[in-house]
Amino acid sequence: MEGWAKIRIAGQTDWKRLWLVVQEGSDEQPQNGAGPTTLVKKKKRMSSLFSSKDSASIHSLLPPKPVISMFASPKPKDRKRAALTVSSITQAFAVYPERPELISKSTLIKIEGTFGDEEMAQNLRTREGYIMFMPEVESSNGQPAEMLKWIVGMACSSIL
C-alpha cells in the first residue's frame, strides 16, 4: 500500500509531505549479519502454483519484517534510499479531534514503532517513537474511508 501523506515525527513541529509505503514482511528470519533492510526470499507455498509468474516475481523478495518507508516522491530515482523508515510497529490508531463536528473530516493516524537510522529521524535514530500522518484523500473516497483503508492496510500486512 502506498500514497502521499503529511508526516510529523515525535518531538518535531513541522509537517512534511512524503510518499508513504507499507511493506509486508516475510515469514523467514534474517540470515546472520542481515540488517533490517536486507531482503530475504519468501517461502514457496502450494498456492503459488496457481498464481501468475509476474505476481510471483514481484513478491519473491520481501524485507524480513514489516516496515513503513517514506520517500521524497514515488519516482524510482527518489525511492533508492528512504528518507525515513519505521519498523517493529507496536500500535497504529486513529486520532480524533475533540470537536465532534470535525470527527468526520479527520484522517490523522498515529503509529508507534522503531525508527531507522536515517537523518530525518534526528535524535530518534534506531529508537522507539511515533509518527503522526495524514494520508491525502483521493477524490473518490471520503476522509474516514481513506483513514480506515490505511489502518486496515497496516493490519493486513502483519505489522500489528
Can you give the residue range of the structural domain that contains 85? 2-24+66-156
Q: Which three cell numbers stand for residue 2?
A: 502506498
Burial of 57 (0-12, 13-18, 19+ CB in 10 A): exposed
pTM: 0.72
The answer to whether residue 52 is domain-embedded is: no
The answer to whether residue 70 is domain-embedded is: yes
What CATH number corresponds to the domain at position 106?
A: 2.30.29.30
Query: Angle CA(153)–CA(157)–CA(159) in degrees, nearest 5?
Result: 100
Q: What's the total number of domains in the chain?
A: 1
Which of the two residues, 111 and 43, has the higher pLDDT score? 111
71-80: list long-range contacts, CB under 8 Å, 24+ apart. 71/18, 71/19, 71/21, 72/18, 72/19, 73/19, 74/2, 74/19, 78/19, 79/19
The answer to whether residue 138 is domain-embedded is: yes
**Cα–Cα separations (whole angstroms), residue 11 to 4, 14, 102, 124, 131:** 22, 10, 25, 9, 9
Mean pLDDT, residues 59-76? 79
The answer to whether residue 53 is domain-embedded is: no
The answer to whether residue 148 is domain-embedded is: yes
Confidence at 150, pLDDT banded by 50, 70, 90:
confident
Give me the pLDDT at residue 45, please.
52
Give me the pLDDT at residue 85, please.
94
The answer to whether residue 58 is domain-embedded is: no
pLDDT at 4 over 90: yes
The answer to whether residue 40 is domain-embedded is: no
Burial of 22 (0-12, 13-18, 19+ CB in 10 A): buried
pLDDT at 40 over 80: no
Backbone dihedral angles phi then psi of residue 124, each to the nearest 5 degrees: -100, 15
Give me the pLDDT at residue 142, please.
74
The answer to whether residue 32 is domain-embedded is: no
